[in-house]
Amino acid sequence: MHVDDDYDDAAGYYVDGDPIADTKAPQGPLEERWDTRQFEARIANPANRRRLSVIVVGTGLAGAAAAATLGEAGYVVKSFCYQDSPRRAHSIAAQGGINAAKNYKGDGDSVFRLFYDTIKGGDYRARESNVYRLAQVSRNIIDQCVAQGVPFAREYGGLLDNRSFGGVQVSRTFYARGQTGQQLLIGAYQALERQVAAGTVKCYSRHEMVELIVVDGRARGIIVRDLVTGEIETYFADVVVLANGGYGNVFFLSTNAMGSNVTASWRAHRKGALMANPCYTQIHPTCIPVSGSHQSKLTLMSESLRNDGRIWVPKKKADCEKNPRDIPEEDRDYYLERIYPAFGNLVPRDIASRQAKNMCDEGRGVGPEVDGVRRGVYLDFADAMERLGHDAIAEKYGNLFDMYARITGEDPYTTPMRIYPAVHYVMGGLWVDYDLQSTIPGLFVTGEANFSDHGANRLGASALMQGLADGYFVLPNTIRDYLAEGPFDKVAEDDPAVVEAQQSVQAQIDKFMNTNGTRSVDSYHRELGNIMWEYCGMERTADGLKKAIDLIRSLRDDFWRNVKVLGSAETMNQSLERAGRVADFFELGELMCIDALNRRESCGGHFRGESQTDEGEALRHDGKYAYVAAWEWTGLDEKPVLHKENLEYEFVEMKQRSYK
């Protein structure tokens, strides 16, 4: 499809702004840039560090690692999470593994190959400098985690074992059965608790950030709500770090924890932090299918299962109701192996997800009908069981198989799993420069909360890698350049910026408590999620996105008129918590649709129906859309401003992806 240079589906929905650029990334040879930046970054001397304070919001891998490392360096750190313990951060749910360019298998892996796979997997919509740094740092992560005692799987000679993930042809994923996120988080948590005991870090659990304090153009603190007492509290620091994860719960049904939200990032966005590529959503191909309207979340089955499981559907629609074991081999369509012979079942997530949808749209989906459609494909371990035996499969995937059996009542050792794509991860997030600093000086953003490393699609096992890379190695080396200017002047409690922030928080709470409507918060969230999935989910079109924007605006207006929040604001009140989060999801959802409408190309997880090849593959348009879309908030019901950061590739050639 040819794209008219003057044509813009989103015309009228936004305003063009000035270009934006990353001024912190060094030039020169790619492999030397990170070393150059570390050397050039200024250093805060040890005596000053004791007088410099850092707030870290979030205690997942990025947040816990950052707080622990900054505490170890001697800074005064305050760590905040809305969970009852840092150990309950959503990083714990990651299953399959963490990538690192160690080349333990001797199969041709290298830092450059990890860099290239990540750039290609992200459909050439990520920065070269950031991605290469991530590949470099990946090797250090494994060494640190082993030293912490993370129980990675090992092969017979004692070396750490590796397995493959989608989008690559080497084995570089380190894992601890299907509990990798949990084990890595325990490692980061114990590092964090070590600093708590040393007195350098103070943890505030059950505290949710509800506003960012910006004084004289710098981030200087946060306002939080104590989720147990309902008290509104204000905390100041020299710098604020957001590590609050992604916003996949805008879709209501996702693999995210029920409490995962965008509020910390969105409140920062409203204070001036640009939001980059918000439409880039990852749909994970291996989730347990929706079973009915009663569900409030979906369960992920690790992508690692695609190492040994074969994905198929019946060739004939008439066979979809049969027991899969009664369908002979010649009547099965191993469609990923057929369409993508070079990568087979290990194609990237966006491609595997889209093909699963295509099979079900053709009427060849399996499992029970939900709303008249069978949304499922088989993930079959029969060949692997015959080749490796029950015990070997149980050792590699046993806890995943047990979880599937408990949820579905089916034994995956004897009956193929049923899987279907679901919202999982987001590549979009707050815009940051090479130092991980947002457009608000003093506000740094790490892990899934920023946009920087994955382009339009994240490769499997790279989320844990980025979180720990940012927390342990990148942020501690870049934040010191900013903190070297400190200590900063103390912020007065009665500073107008502080008072304004406190009043805005209280005003929203009062609004919720005084709107005596008739609909629950969850009913609005579910309806918003349905709109987002239907029109901004696995496939987007101009007409659908415009319809979604109208529906979101109408539903948001109704939300503010007719929502009912039960209980009191001066106590534990989960209805009030969710109301604030859903209010932010409404505004985010609209921006996601505008961003998707503006990008009339298909790339990675963003698939525009108007832009595809004759074979139905994603079709990019590099001449028009090779940029990061960084959006500026201008006010409720005002048009956002689009700032473009051009992506230039010096070390890899931008070309249409092929996994065939």
Give me the active site residues, please.
Answer: 349
- For residues 25 and 38, the answer to whether their CB atoms sit within 8 Å is no
For residues 326, 332, 334, 335, the Cα torsion angle rounded to the nearest 10 degrees is -130
- For residues 298 and 422, the answer to whether their CB atoms sit within 8 Å is yes
- For residues 98 and 89, the answer to whether their CB atoms sit within 8 Å is no
Beta-strand (E) ranges in 501-567? Answer: none
Q: Hey, what are 371's tokens? A: 């709303």
Name 645's bridge partners: 628
- For residues 436 and 478, the answer to whether their CB atoms sit within 8 Å is yes
Position 586, amino acid? F
464: alpha, beta or left? (left if phi > 0; alpha if psi -120 to 50): alpha
Q: Hey, what are 215's tokens? A: 């004084």
Quote the CA–CA distance of 174 and 349 in Å, as a whole number.
19
- For residues 171 and 162, the answer to whether their CB atoms sit within 8 Å is yes
CA angle 148, 152, 158 (to 5 degrees): 105
To the nearest 10 degrees (0 to 180), the angle between helices 521-536 and 542-562 is: 170
Cα dihedral sign, 454-460-462-464: positive
Quote the CA–CA distance of 9 and 600 in Å, as a whole number.
7
- In sequence order, which residues have a C-beta less than 8 Å from that of residue 44 and are 6 or more positions away? 52, 480, 483, 484, 486
Quote the CA–CA distance of 451 and 595 in Å, as a whole number.
14
> Could you give the count of Cα atoms lying within 13 Å of 199 in the half-sphere of its Cβ?
1
- Report residue 472: phi and psi, to 5°: -85, -35
By three-state DSSP, how is residue 659 classified? coil
- For residues 207 and 84, the answer to whether their CB atoms sit within 8 Å is no
Total count of residues recorded for the chain: 660
Q: Hey, what are 560's tokens? A: 């503010």
Q: Please identify which residue in the block is written with the tokens 């650029």.
A: 21
Cα dihedral sign, 221-632-627-581: positive
Quote the CA–CA distance of 169 and 318 in Å, as a whole number.
36
Beta strand 373-374 with 377-380 is: unpaired
